[in-house]
Amino acid sequence: MDPFFTEKQRLFRQEVRAFAKKELTPFAEAAEETETFPMELWKILGQSGYLGIRFPEEYGGMGEGLVSYCIFIEEMNRVSAGLTAGIGLQAGMATLPVYLFGNEDQRQQWLVPAIRGEKVSAFALTEPGAGSDAANIACTAKREGDDYVINGTKLFITNGGIADFVVVAAKTDPSKGVKGITLLVVEKGTSGFAVVRKLRKMATRGSETAELSFKDCRVPGRNRLGQEGVGFVNLMKSLNEGRLSCAASALGIAHSAFNEALNYAKRRKAFGKSIGALGAIQSYLANMSMDIEAGRLLTYNGAWMADQEQEYTKEASWAKLYTSEMVQRVANKAVQVFGGYGFIRDYAVERHYREARLWEIVEGTSEIQRLIIARNLGLK
Ligand SMILES: Cc1cc2nc3c(=O)[nH]c(=O)nc-3n(C[C@H](O)[C@H](O)[C@H](O)COP(=O)(O)OP(=O)(O)OC[C@H]3O[C@@H](n4cnc5c(N)ncnc54)[C@H](O)[C@@H]3O)c2cc1C
């Protein structure tokens, strides 16, 4: 028995596993090759209901908690980390601020169609000059009458080039530092909003990542999510969820790399026996299985605590930090088990090795996770 999952969640895992295999597999390889997200997938996702796992049924969601969300992210990543990077963003970080801080009209305008897969969303905090130091963003939103006029550049924005709306963090009062940051929704086609370029990545190429620019981009005051100046504080509330989502992504990739390596070890022969009978390979696989299990326990412990409405900041950082480093160890050894074939692009472990690198960087680097954990240990 697994203490973190209810019977319903165990069944949910099976359903998502079957869904990911059936619906993501046909698109996954081409998306990685062309570095293009298949837009027809949004309709399939919208019909599945999975884009609304975290949101109440009244908005078309499933009303489930973070454990279910992490199960979804983990299972989807087992099939395609590239596609799931864009999908997870849509089902989480980009829509969560609309639900948490938006009013009823805003939820109807952006959240409901996003859950249905009819509108694609993005979330834009990072800039060329500010990533970890997010409080230092330079993008401004100046109040002019009932409108806001946005100026600035956003970098590394997942779904940025394909989004119908982007949740943008901008400074409405630069003199107030973090207390001057406000969240605004910018819709595609708004004058002054442009996609500068699609970024070419090491991996997870099935999701599209872009640089966005805002030049005298005017949005109405009704596009503001929450009050002026509370954007940063509000974002911090949703970051823990994002960290567990990263942990679940890393877990899914690690599982895939491990399964590939285990199966290969059973069938590859060297010196008259399967390499899985060799002590060196056995010890790799033994360590990989243990490492994954440790990451799994940390991830679902954090998600379970969130669902019990317990404080889980430290636990979210533990999970994110551990799994993002774990997946690199596991993917590295998976390539080793494959020998020369592991270096060739015909085999999934080559892709997993590259995919594994992302999770230590996004949603707070490992260095930042260690800072958060240290702060939660009372160290200033
Ligand atoms: C594929 C991809 C998708 C992304 N998607 C999005 C998105 O959708 N929306 C969005 O807003 N952002 C997104 N990001 C941005 C991502 O969150 C940032 O890259 C990340 O926060 C790190 O910021 P940075 O790249 O500016 O690195 P920096 O902050 O410049 O960090 C550089 C190095 O310095 C270290 N460092 C910085 N500060 C400290 C400190 N105080 N103590 C110790 N070490 C420190 C970092 O850990 C890192 O090793 C994405 C990035 C990638 C690569």
Residue 84 has a pLDDT of 98
User: Atom 25, ligand 1: which residue's CA is nearest?
Assistant: 131
- How far apart are the two ends of the chain, measured CA to CA in Å? 40
The residue whose CB lies within 8 Å of the most ligand 1 atoms, and thus the one to mutate among 120, 132, 204, is 132
State yes or no: pLDDT of 94 exceeds 70: yes
Tens digits of residue pLDDT in 120-159: 999 999 999 999 999 999 999 999 999 999 999 999 999 9
Ligand 1 atom with minimal separation from the 130 CA? 26
**H or E element in which residue 96 lies:** helix 96-101
**Contact status, residue 325 vs residue 250, Cβ threshold 8 Å:** no
Q: Hey, which residues does 121 pair with through a beta bridge?
A: 165
CB atoms within 10 A of CB 14: 11
Give the distance (Å) from ligand 1 centre to CA of residue 3.
Answer: 34
Residue 169: band (very low, low, confident or very high) from pLDDT cuts 50, 70, 90: very high
Q: Is 245 in the pocket of ligand 1 (CB under 6 A)?
A: no
pTM: predicted TM-score of the whole model, two decimal places: 0.97
Q: How far apart are CA 344 and CA 4, in angstroms?
A: 38
94 Cβ below 6 A of ligand 1: no
Q: Is the CB of 157 under 6 A from ligand 1?
A: yes
Tell me: the pLDDT tens digits for 21-66?
999 999 999 999 999 999 999 999 999 999 999 999 999 999 999 9
pLDDT tens, residue by residue, 318-348: 999 999 999 999 999 999 999 999 999 999 9
Residue 3 has pLDDT above 80, yes or no: no
CA of 123 to the centre of ligand 1 (A): 14
Interatomic CA distance for residues 265 and 276, integer angstroms: 4
Catalytic-labelled residue, pool 127, 350, 355, 363:
363
**Quick one: which atom of ligand 1 is closest to the CA of 125?**
11
Work out the number of other CB atoms within 10 angstroms of the CB of residue 140. Answer: 18
Segment 6-20, tens digit of pLDDT: 999 999 999 999 999
Tell how strand 181-187 and strand 165-171 pair up: antiparallel
Is residue 131 in contact with ligand 1, taking CB distance under 6 Å? Answer: yes
- What number does the ligand 1 atom closest to the CA of 133 have? 29
Residue nearest to atom 50 of ligand 1 (CA): 156
| For residue 301, pLDDT beyond 90 | yes
300 close to ligand 1 (CB < 6 Angstrom): no
**Whether the Cβ atoms of residue 81 and residue 355 lie closer than 8 Å to each other:** yes
Residue 363 is a catalytic residue: yes
pLDDT value at residue 328? 98
Closest of 65, 241, 235, 73 to residue 167, by C-alpha: 235
Q: Which domains does the chain have, with CATH numbers?
A: 7-115 (1.10.540.10), 121-229 (2.40.110.10), 232-376 (1.20.140.10)
pLDDT tens sequence across 235-268: 887 889 999 999 999 999 999 999 999 999 999 9
- Distance (angstroms) between ligand 1 centre and the Cα of 138 equals 15
Query: Can you tell me the distance from the alpha carbon of 292 to that of 278, in angstroms, rounded to the nearest whole number?
Result: 21
Q: What is the pLDDT of residue 239?
A: 87
Q: Is the CB of 132 under 6 A from ligand 1?
A: yes
Q: Which atom of ligand 1 is nearest to the CA of 367?
A: 47
Q: pLDDT tens-digit profile of 200-224?
A: 999 999 999 999 999 999 999 999 9
